[in-house]
Structure formats: structure tokens, C-alpha cells
């Protein structure tokens, strides 16, 4: 009987640790993100302006990749073609 009580207690401790780990992963500040209109840097909770990809890797556990959306590809191709 004592064994099952110990197992139950260990399971509760594991569940608590899992919740704490999940809370640590959610580091994104809530509210309004201040984003620079020119360079798209984001102001962090300490008041520093960080490049968007750096901000997300620090506060959201995300990595960013870079590419072009369809509209920008079309614009880029049109501009390039007009220069040739």
C-alpha cells in the first residue's frame, strides 16, 4: 500500500515539473509588441531593440528562416526585368 502512495506522489511531482517546464517555455511577453516601422526590430522587455529573428529565438523559442513571399518575388522579378 505504501508503494502505491509513493507512486502517486511521484506522479504528482512529475506533473508539477511538467507544468513548470511548460511555463518556462512560454517566455513571450503579453501585450503589445513595439516593432520598428523601418527595420522591423522589436523592443524587448528590457527596452533594447533586437532584430526580429533574435527576439523570437530569445522570447518565443522559435527560429526564423528568411525568404520572399509571392508578392515580393513578383515585384523583385519585375524590377529586375525592367533594369535589364
Q: Which residues of 31-70 are buried (b: 16+ CB within 10 A; e: fewer)?
A: eeeeeeeeeebbebeeeeebeeeebbeebeeeeeeeeeee
Q: Give the domain ranges of the chain.
A: 2-83
pLDDT in tens, 53-83: 888 888 876 777 888 888 888 888 988 888 8
β-partners of residue 34 are: none
**Mean pLDDT calculated for residue range 45-51:** 92
CA 36, distance to chain mean position in Å, is 17
Amino acid at each position: 500500500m505504501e508503494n502505491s502512495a509513493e507512486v502517486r506522489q511521484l506522479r504528482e511531482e512529475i506533473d508539477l515539473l511538467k507544468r513548470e517546464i511548460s511555463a518556462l517555455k512560454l517566455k513571450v511577453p503579453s501585450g503589445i509588441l513595439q516593432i520598428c516601422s523601418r527595420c522591423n526590430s522589436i523592443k524587448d522587455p528590457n527596452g533594447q531593440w533586437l532584430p526580429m529573428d533574435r527576439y523570437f529565438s530569445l522570447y518565443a523559442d522559435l527560429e526564423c528562416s528568411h525568404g520572399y513571399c509571392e508578392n515580393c518575388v513578383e515585384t523583385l522579378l519585375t524590377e529586375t526585368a525592367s533594369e535589364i
